Amino acid sequence: MANLLASINVALTALLSHSQASTVHAHNVANVNTPGYHRQFARVSAGPAVSLSNSYYGTGVGQMGSGVYVSAIHRYAVDFYDTRYRLENQQASKWSTQSEIVAQLEASLLETSTDGLLPKIEAYFSNWQAASDNPTNTSVRRQLLDSAKELASSINTRYVQIESIRSEQDLRINQSIQEINLIAENIAGLNREISRILSIGDSPNDLLDARDVALDRLSEIAGATSFKQENGEVSVSINGHILVGGHDIYRLQTEIDPTNENLTKIVWSDGKNMVPTSGELAGVIEARDTIFEDQRTGLNALSMMIKDQVNAIHFNGYGLDNSTQINFFEGTNAGNFKVNDDLENVSKIALSSAVDEPGNNEIGREIFKLRTTGTMNSDTMTFSQYYNDQISKLGLTVQRATTNARDRSLVAQALVSQREAVTGVSLNEEAANIAKSQKAYEAAARVISVIDEMLNTVINNMGAGR
């Protein structure tokens, strides 16, 4: 009788264990498309054996098994793939972000269209030649003035575009810092809950998945790295500075940087500067402070050299009304570069090198020669060559960033595939596992049914023939 009751308990453990295993497999199927989900399985093991020696009226010897139990819910994870993926993805994010930002600038400059600055430079100096050929023609002078205004306007527009896109990156930096702090709070909370669950011997698998997703995102934004502690918590750092330590977080914030034109800089809560070297933030800051600054510096140099060279000649010339010592251009940088308002009276445009010689065109011809004179880059480039070099460098920067982003992304995706091969859910495999658990469940149920019949015989039928 005792053996039959023990058999019921063995079958019951099988029912419960395989039912739980089926639930785990169903959970895997339900999360087949959940980002960051790691597949799980119920690890089963035999229950403790019971000694039968000298028991049950001497009918048994040795030990009898007590059934099967779920000893753990295992989570498939490979830390090596996680670390490698985050290292590659943070670099891919840096180059991808930089490529996106610089491509915005390249598109806004319109240098591949007829509205580019190079045609404006060429048109301006060509109009000096036309004016030199007919120095007394007011219409030609007006055309020269209009081309000069168009050149100045194009330079101004490009300066504004550079400044606008550059300043927009401060908003992006602020948003990223807010996201980093929120993720850090989330990780600290997950650390607390994960360590608590592990301390009582349970497996916080879904919480570990959530934390891994957060760590992936932190790596993508700022190149954060993480280290697991013995209690299951993780410490997260950026460039060697702790962001999350157990349950504590060390926040980032933004401040105005007076040494960098009052643009935004990133600082830790302890006042130390944070300069990201990878991740999206690194791409943003490098584009803002290096690439955009190089383009702005080049545009300033071009406009001020045009102003200085043209003014140096024009100042000593004479207009149709014998006006002299008038600068053609004004301004201190590409943003306020403009034509002198006095030249709205086109008769004041100096083409002659001598007073009372309206047909003299020596000044006009000298300014026209600037078109082919090496005045930029230590007198090795013309104005057009210099600006063309600036645009070429910008194009190469976009190309390099795009290529690096693609290459790094390919490596990251390869690592994702390898990680998914281990941690991802296979519907075919889960279907097979569910079928196995179902058959085991059915078999255990059949065992209980057989034992029930045996008990019925013992209880209701033994002695019935007397």
Residue 245, H or E segment? strand 241-245
Q: What is the pLDDT of residue 50?
A: 73
Q: Do residues 124 and 151 make contact, with C-beta atoms less than 8 angstroms apart?
A: yes
CA-to-CA distance for 200 and 13, rounded, in angstroms? 22
**327-362: pLDDT as tens digits:** 999 999 999 999 999 999 999 999 999 999 988 999
Alpha helix (H) residue ranges in 110-233: 117-133, 138-199, 205-222
What is the per-residue pLDDT across 206-251, written as a single tens digit (0 to 9) for each? 999 999 999 999 999 999 999 999 899 999 999 999 999 988 999 9
**Residue 58 scores a pLDDT above 60:** no
Distance CA 385, CA 394 (A): 14
Give 134's contacts (C-beta < 8 A, 6+ positions apart). 140
Looking at residue 63, its pLDDT comes to: 72
Average pLDDT over the chain reads 90
Cα three-residue angle 423-424-428, rounded to 5 degrees: 125
Distance of alpha carbon 211 from alpha carbon 23, whole angstroms? 23
**Which is nearest to 206 in space by CA: 80, 86, 34, 79?**
34
For 287, residues 6+ apart whose C-beta sits below 8 A from its C-beta are: 97, 98, 101, 102, 169
Measure CA of the first residue to CA of the last residue in the chain; give whole Å. Answer: 21
Residues 379-414 pLDDT 10s: 899 999 999 999 999 989 999 999 999 999 999 989
pLDDT on residue 61: 61
Please determine, for residue 159, whether its predicted confidence score (pLDDT) is greater than 70: yes
Please say whether the beta carbons of 234 and 191 come within 8 A: yes
Per DSSP, 324 falls in state B
pLDDT of residue 1: 45
What percentage of the chain reaches a pLDDT higher than 70?
95
